[in-house]
A = this chain, B = another copy of it.
Amino acid sequence: MSLHLELKKEYNRLNDTKKYDIIIERLKERGVELVDIAKITYDLQKPYVKDVTLEICLDHVDRVILKREVQHAVLVGIELDVLAEKKLLSEPLLSMLLGDYGLFGVDEVLAFSIVNVYGSIGFTNFGFVDKSKPGIIGRLDTEGKEEGKCNTFLDDIVGAIASAAASSIAHKYAQ
Protein backbone atom coordinates (compact mmCIF):
# COMPACT_ATOMS: atom_id res chain seq x y z
CA MET A 1 0.00 0.00 0.00
CA SER A 2 1.26 3.51 -0.80
CA LEU A 3 2.53 5.79 1.96
CA HIS A 4 -0.18 8.28 0.99
CA LEU A 5 -2.96 5.77 1.74
CA GLU A 6 -1.29 4.67 4.98
CA LEU A 7 -1.17 8.28 6.16
CA LYS A 8 -4.84 8.87 5.36
CA LYS A 9 -5.82 5.71 7.22
CA GLU A 10 -3.81 6.79 10.25
CA TYR A 11 -5.32 10.29 10.10
CA ASN A 12 -8.83 8.85 10.10
CA ARG A 13 -8.05 6.55 13.01
CA LEU A 14 -6.71 9.41 15.10
CA ASN A 15 -9.63 11.63 14.13
CA ASP A 16 -12.17 9.03 15.33
CA THR A 17 -10.29 8.54 18.61
CA LYS A 18 -10.36 12.31 19.17
CA LYS A 19 -14.10 12.45 18.49
CA TYR A 20 -14.51 9.52 20.88
CA ASP A 21 -13.01 11.63 23.68
CA ILE A 22 -15.32 14.55 22.85
CA ILE A 23 -18.36 12.27 22.91
CA ILE A 24 -17.44 10.75 26.29
CA GLU A 25 -17.15 14.32 27.59
CA ARG A 26 -20.52 15.41 26.11
CA LEU A 27 -22.29 12.37 27.50
CA LYS A 28 -20.81 13.12 30.95
CA GLU A 29 -21.97 16.74 30.77
CA ARG A 30 -25.48 15.41 30.06
CA GLY A 31 -25.28 13.03 33.02
CA VAL A 32 -24.43 9.78 31.23
CA GLU A 33 -21.46 7.55 32.12
CA LEU A 34 -20.48 4.70 29.79
CA VAL A 35 -21.00 2.22 32.63
CA ASP A 36 -24.67 3.29 32.79
CA ILE A 37 -25.02 2.27 29.15
CA ALA A 38 -23.03 -0.95 29.67
CA LYS A 39 -25.43 -1.99 32.48
CA ILE A 40 -28.37 -1.91 30.04
CA THR A 41 -26.35 -3.95 27.55
CA TYR A 42 -25.53 -6.45 30.28
CA ASP A 43 -29.19 -6.95 31.20
CA LEU A 44 -30.08 -7.37 27.52
CA GLN A 45 -27.40 -10.01 26.81
CA LYS A 46 -27.18 -11.90 30.12
CA PRO A 47 -30.08 -14.27 29.22
CA TYR A 48 -28.36 -15.25 25.95
CA VAL A 49 -24.63 -15.17 26.74
CA LYS A 50 -24.22 -16.73 30.17
CA ASP A 51 -20.57 -15.77 30.68
CA VAL A 52 -20.97 -12.11 29.73
CA THR A 53 -19.54 -9.58 32.20
CA LEU A 54 -20.05 -5.86 32.73
CA GLU A 55 -16.45 -5.41 31.59
CA ILE A 56 -17.15 -7.13 28.25
CA CYS A 57 -20.25 -4.94 27.84
CA LEU A 58 -18.24 -1.79 28.52
CA ASP A 59 -15.71 -2.88 25.92
CA HIS A 60 -18.48 -3.26 23.31
CA VAL A 61 -20.03 0.09 24.25
CA ASP A 62 -16.58 1.54 23.51
CA ARG A 63 -16.44 -0.16 20.12
CA VAL A 64 -19.85 1.26 19.22
CA ILE A 65 -18.78 4.80 20.13
CA LEU A 66 -15.61 4.43 18.05
CA LYS A 67 -17.78 4.03 14.92
CA ARG A 68 -18.01 7.19 12.84
CA GLU A 69 -21.71 6.74 11.97
CA VAL A 70 -22.48 6.57 15.69
CA GLN A 71 -20.28 9.53 16.62
CA HIS A 72 -22.00 11.85 14.16
CA ALA A 73 -25.51 10.82 15.20
CA VAL A 74 -24.60 11.37 18.86
CA LEU A 75 -23.08 14.79 18.16
CA VAL A 76 -26.17 15.95 16.24
CA GLY A 77 -28.64 14.59 18.79
CA ILE A 78 -26.99 16.08 21.87
CA GLU A 79 -26.46 19.40 20.04
CA LEU A 80 -30.20 19.63 19.32
CA ASP A 81 -31.13 18.83 22.94
CA VAL A 82 -28.73 21.52 24.22
CA LEU A 83 -29.89 24.12 21.66
CA ALA A 84 -33.49 23.43 22.70
CA GLU A 85 -32.61 24.09 26.35
CA LYS A 86 -30.89 27.33 25.34
CA LYS A 87 -33.98 28.24 23.27
CA LEU A 88 -31.77 28.68 20.21
CA LEU A 89 -34.05 26.61 17.93
CA SER A 90 -36.85 28.17 15.89
CA GLU A 91 -40.50 27.19 16.17
CA PRO A 92 -42.23 24.78 15.77
CA LEU A 93 -39.09 22.66 16.29
CA LEU A 94 -38.35 24.16 19.70
CA SER A 95 -41.74 23.24 21.19
CA MET A 96 -41.65 19.74 19.71
CA LEU A 97 -38.26 19.06 21.30
CA LEU A 98 -38.98 20.66 24.68
CA GLY A 99 -42.29 18.76 24.82
CA ASP A 100 -40.71 15.45 23.62
CA TYR A 101 -43.53 15.28 21.03
CA GLY A 102 -44.45 11.61 20.52
CA LEU A 103 -44.97 11.92 16.75
CA PHE A 104 -41.66 13.74 16.15
CA GLY A 105 -39.78 10.68 14.91
CA VAL A 106 -36.40 12.26 14.08
CA ASP A 107 -35.05 11.01 17.42
CA GLU A 108 -35.92 7.45 16.37
CA VAL A 109 -34.42 8.03 12.93
CA LEU A 110 -31.07 9.07 14.43
CA ALA A 111 -31.24 6.23 16.95
CA PHE A 112 -31.69 3.77 14.12
CA SER A 113 -28.57 4.87 12.33
CA ILE A 114 -26.80 3.95 15.58
CA VAL A 115 -28.53 0.60 16.15
CA ASN A 116 -27.88 -0.30 12.51
CA VAL A 117 -24.10 -0.44 12.83
CA TYR A 118 -24.30 -4.00 14.09
CA GLY A 119 -27.18 -5.02 11.88
CA SER A 120 -30.90 -5.50 12.06
CA ILE A 121 -30.91 -7.79 15.10
CA GLY A 122 -30.47 -4.69 17.28
CA PHE A 123 -33.88 -3.25 16.33
CA THR A 124 -35.72 -5.47 18.78
CA ASN A 125 -33.53 -4.55 21.72
CA PHE A 126 -33.84 -0.85 20.93
CA GLY A 127 -37.63 -0.99 20.82
CA PHE A 128 -37.68 -2.91 24.07
CA VAL A 129 -35.46 -0.54 26.08
CA ASP A 130 -37.14 2.49 24.51
CA LYS A 131 -40.44 1.28 25.94
CA SER A 132 -39.35 -0.32 29.22
CA LYS A 133 -36.86 2.50 30.01
CA PRO A 134 -34.40 0.64 32.28
CA GLY A 135 -31.81 2.43 34.49
CA ILE A 136 -30.32 5.60 33.04
CA ILE A 137 -32.92 5.75 30.24
CA GLY A 138 -35.72 6.09 32.80
CA ARG A 139 -33.75 8.77 34.66
CA LEU A 140 -33.15 10.73 31.45
CA ASP A 141 -36.82 10.43 30.52
CA THR A 142 -37.96 11.77 33.91
CA GLU A 143 -35.35 14.53 33.94
CA GLY A 144 -36.34 15.52 30.39
CA LYS A 145 -39.86 16.31 31.60
CA GLU A 146 -38.57 19.04 33.95
CA GLU A 147 -39.13 22.66 32.94
CA GLY A 148 -36.41 23.89 30.57
CA LYS A 149 -34.73 20.48 30.31
CA CYS A 150 -34.56 18.50 27.04
CA ASN A 151 -33.45 14.87 26.64
CA THR A 152 -35.58 14.14 23.55
CA PHE A 153 -32.62 12.80 21.58
CA LEU A 154 -30.40 11.65 24.45
CA ASP A 155 -32.63 8.90 25.86
CA ASP A 156 -32.96 7.36 22.39
CA ILE A 157 -29.22 7.71 21.77
CA VAL A 158 -28.38 5.90 25.01
CA GLY A 159 -30.86 3.12 24.23
CA ALA A 160 -29.44 2.81 20.73
CA ILE A 161 -25.81 2.58 21.90
CA ALA A 162 -26.76 -0.04 24.51
CA SER A 163 -28.67 -2.05 21.88
CA ALA A 164 -25.88 -1.82 19.30
CA ALA A 165 -23.39 -3.03 21.92
CA ALA A 166 -25.74 -5.95 22.70
CA SER A 167 -25.83 -6.83 18.98
CA SER A 168 -22.05 -6.61 18.82
CA ILE A 169 -21.78 -9.11 21.69
CA ALA A 170 -24.43 -11.38 20.16
CA HIS A 171 -22.59 -11.42 16.84
CA LYS A 172 -19.38 -12.37 18.61
CA TYR A 173 -20.50 -14.99 21.09
CA ALA A 174 -24.01 -16.28 20.40
CA GLN A 175 -24.49 -19.56 18.58
- Mark A residues whose CB is within 8 Å of B: 1-2, 4-5, 8-9, 11-12, 19, 22, 48-52, 56, 68-69, 72-73, 75-76, 79-80, 82-83, 88-90, 92-93, 96, 102-106, 108-113, 116-117, 119-121, 123-128, 130-132, 170-175
A91 to B148, CA, bound (A): 23
* Cβ contacts under 8 Å, A80 to chain B: 76, 80
Counting every copy of the chain, the complex holds: 4
Can you give 16 contacting A-B residue pairs, CB < 8 Å?
A5-B52, A72-B104, A75-B92, A75-B93, A76-B80, A79-B93, A103-B170, A103-B174, A105-B120, A106-B120, A108-B123, A116-B116, A123-B127, A124-B126, A128-B130, A128-B131
A contact patch SS: helix
* Cβ contacts under 8 Å, A2 to chain B: 51
* Cβ contacts under 8 Å, A126 to chain B: 123-124, 127
CB distance from A93 to the nearest CB of B (A): 5
A3 to B67, CA, bound (A): 28
Q: Which partner residue on chain B sits nearest A113 by CB separation?
A: B109
Contact at A124–B120, with CB atoms within 8 Å?
no
CB distance from A64 to the nearest CB of B (A): 13
CB distance from A59 to the nearest CB of B (A): 10
